[in-house]
Chains A and B, each alone.
Chain A
Amino acid sequence: MSASLRKERRSALVWSYAFLVVFAVIFLTPPLYMFITSLKTSAEISAATLPWWVFHPTLDNYSALLTSEAYLTFFRNSAVVSLAVVAITMAISIPAAFSLSRMRFWGSGALATGVFLTYLIPETLLFIPLFKIFAFVQDWTGIELMNHWWVLIVIFPTLTVPFCTWIMIGYFASIPKELDEAALIDGAGYFQVLTRIFLPVALPGVIAATIFAFTVSWADFLYPMAFATSIDQMVLPAGIVSTLIKGDVFNWGQIMTAALLGAAPPLIIYAFLMDYYIAGLTAGATKG
């Protein structure tokens, strides 16, 4: 390597590290602040002490939350909703992505574009029409959809299915066509091509989609806030804000603790599947 190249590489590295440090600080400061605050008593939080240090550490916030029936209900509702949404999303997205990327049928191109466009419509535009639809369903069938935690299982897939389908279309499209043809000749049907060739080969993409679906349904705020209003029907994000802020009293210690505990499951999943997640996203990026 010539001297000038080495010098260039050096300066590139310096800049890379500078920016990485800046972004790491920006992104890691809030969780760190949450963690510090979660270890403080309300008195210490409201006292004008150094916010970045805990002088009288306590686990009271944690024990209060973990014994609070409301919080445990939020947690259970969130878990059931998220797992169910992931299952439903995968059950719809995988076959949809497979057929849209492989079987050419009348309107398949328009459908694939349509799936993508659906993803571009923000939920803030959708929740009022959804109210209308719920009322309509109740008028016709007598099924009450409002104020039930399980209605989120029906609503969240409208956010997750388009994106997951789209990311997997890109991933499936990167699988050489000869691979399915070889399997078809070897005696596989379309379903076997999907389960025995596509899913294993496109596993990183499937995992990326799974993580996305889980994160969206775990962390979404607007729909739970709008559609599940009684305490026992709430999921984590809405529940924390609704129960730990009473009037103008903010129970900061518990809010931070609850948020931190709520962020743990996605964090753990990311940590284990990070490599797969990145591989999946980049493949979607270059091929999609």
Chain B
Amino acid sequence: MAQVTLRNLVKDYDQTPAVRGIDLDIADKEFVVLVGPSGCGKTTTLRMIAGLEDITDGEILIGGDVVNDVPPKDRDIAMVFQNYALYPHMTVHENMSFGLRLKKLPKDEIARRVTAVAGILGIGELLDRKPKQLSGGQRQRVAMGRAIVRNPKVFLFDEPLSNLDAKLRVHMRTEIKKVHQKVRTTTVYVTHDQVEAMTLADRVVVMNAGRIEQAGAPNDLYHRPATLFVAGFIGSPAMNITGCALEETAGALRVRLNGEVSFPVPAERTARYRAYAGQRRLLFGLRPEHLTEMRPHSVANQCPFEVTPEVTEPLGMETLVFFNVNGTEMCARTNPAANAQPGVRTRLLADLNQMHLIDEASGRVL
């Protein structure tokens, strides 16, 4: 059993705050991904859990024990680094068994564990090689093997895939997920790549400027972002967000993007949004997949409008259509068969069941 608990965790570097009070409960066997732009404090948080950074304030608990002043080697954790940090003078076998040898485990026990883990990761053939003789993906596997073989309470991953090329990254992502399904150890994983976060995590923790913006299951974050930052950060292509005004006429609400484009707000949201009608600074958010070509069957709250595409990007299974509203570039994901052309006025369909209304001042999704 190894849950990890962070209580009001704070880290200052010479008066500059890096982490400004993080509260997080990570359940046993849970795979949690900390994601955010560079400088958001995610790696610092991970390094504090590892014991590689001192804590300015707050508490870290691993398996129920406060470990603030426990050195890394006594925290029973394993970490995979961005540059793998394999010991260059040791073979793969020696790299993986280093921790076990330091613990003075019996030789046959060490050999048994290394062989078993090498089997899981498919690196049994490489045990006698030096890190220099391995490819990036193989090094990545060895680094993971070195972590797994120690059978620690918690795995910590610090952007482990960012040194790999795009294709290998996708492959290793799947590998990591498979390994976690087999080994089921509590995992904290740091990345700046929101796709990696979404695909791997049981729970994604979005961080920004040293604070947690939102924590939740991948689909929750995607469909119900709590803040403007999360709405813009999660999802690719990113959510379309543009300024709007909320108008009330005869009990019904409309969002007006500009003089030309306005949409009716779905009736079931009227009560939720009414208080904000007439307020000045609101943002309208709608994901690209909820802006499509016209479809033959009309669904409630899907509303057509006309745009002039500036650029179209055919991707094969869909065509991205970019157009401009209020000076903001917006993106729609359309069926290639609709054959949208740049400069040719086109009708698109906005699915307002999926709309978001954001208070610009507080950044909160309403």
Contact = CB atoms under 8 A, between A and B. Distances in A.
A192 interface: yes
Interface string B70-110: 01110101110111010111000000001100110000000
Nearest to A190: B71
Given A176-B85, A201-B87, A182 B79 contact: yes
B99 A187 contact: yes
A188 interface: yes
A261 interface: no
A181 B85 contact: yes
B150 interface: yes
A184 B89 contact: no
A172 to B, nearest CB: 14
Interface residues of B, number: 23
B50 interface: yes
B146 interface: yes
B116 interface: no
A102 to B, nearest CB: 13
A188 B73 CA distance: 7
Given A188-B102, A192-B102, A183 B79 contact: no
Contacts of B51: 184-185
A185 B83 contact: no
A197 B87 contact: yes
A179 interface: yes
Contacts of B1: none
A185 B73 contact: yes
B170 interface: no
Give the interface SS of chain A, mostly helix, strand, loop or mixed. Answer: helix
A189 B88 CA distance: 19
B52 interface: yes
Q: Categorize the interface residue count of chain A.
A: 10 to 19
Give the interface SS of chain B, mostly helix, strand, loop or mixed. Answer: loop
Contact of A176 (B71, B75, B83, B102): B83
A197 B78 CA distance: 18
Contacts of A188: 73, 98, 102
B98 A183 contact: yes
Given A179-B87, A200-B89, A201-B87, A189 B73 contact: yes
Contacts of A185: 50-52, 72-73, 75, 77-79
Contact of A182 (B75, B81, B89): B81
A173 to B, nearest CB: 16
A182 B87 CA distance: 9
A178 B50 CA distance: 12
A186 B89 contact: no
A196 B88 CA distance: 11
A69 B82 CA distance: 63
Interface string A139-183: 000000000000000000000000000000000000010110111
Contact of A186 (B71, B83, B98): B98
Select the residue from B50, B83, B87 with max chain A CB neighbours within 10 A: B87
Given A181-B79, A181-B81, A186 B88 contact: no
Contacts of B146: 182, 186
Contacts of B83: 176, 178
Interface in B45-82: 50-52, 71-73, 75, 77-79, 81-82
B72 A201 contact: no
A181 B79 CA distance: 9
Contact of A184 (B52, B87, B88, B150): B52
